[in-house]
């Protein structure tokens, strides 16, 4: 199972910050960004996570920090990222995507 440690960060296409992208065996993927002012991040929670559906379009990802559970919505007519994540929270989201 892939975790945060499997991510390889490269310069973000915008020229600011960094992005890691990894596709899983189930044809879904995760995009993790960090390091730019417009990302939903902070010094102690420096990562923003996007969930990509089988077709490559962004889905919705919600992290409930109270219960440390993740909800992923593939059939929503909109998309949403989860901001302000730690490395452990990114790993939790990644693991949840992989078991779909």
Please report the pLDDT score of residue 58 as a whole number. Answer: 80
Place of tokens 């730690």: 86
Number of other CB atoms surrounding residue 62 within 10 Å: 14
Alpha carbons 52 and 57: distance in angstroms, whole number: 5
E strands, the chain, are 10-11, 18-23, 29-34, 47-52, 60-64, 69-73, 82-85
For residue 38, give its domain range.
Answer: 4-98
Q: How many domains does the chain have?
A: 1
Question: In this predicted model, what pLDDT tens digit does every residue of 1-24 receive, in sequence order?
Answer: 999 999 999 999 999 999 999 999
Question: In this predicted model, what pLDDT tens digit does every residue of 29-84 receive, in sequence order?
Answer: 999 999 999 999 999 999 999 988 888 788 888 888 989 889 887 766 667 889 99
């Amino acid at each position: 199972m892939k975790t945060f440690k499997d991510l390889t960060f490269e310069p973000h296409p915008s020229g600011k910050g960094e992005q890691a992208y990894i596709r899983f065996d189930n044809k879904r993927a995760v995009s993790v960004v960090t390091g730019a002012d417009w990302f939903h991040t902070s010094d102690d929670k420096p990562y923003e996570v996007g969930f990509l559906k089988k077709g490559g379009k962004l889905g919705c990802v919600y992290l409930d920090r109270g219960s440390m559970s993740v909800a992923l919505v593939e059939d929503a007519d909109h998309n949403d990222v989860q901001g302000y994540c730690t490395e452990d929270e990114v790993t939790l989201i990644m693991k949840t995507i992989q078991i779909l």
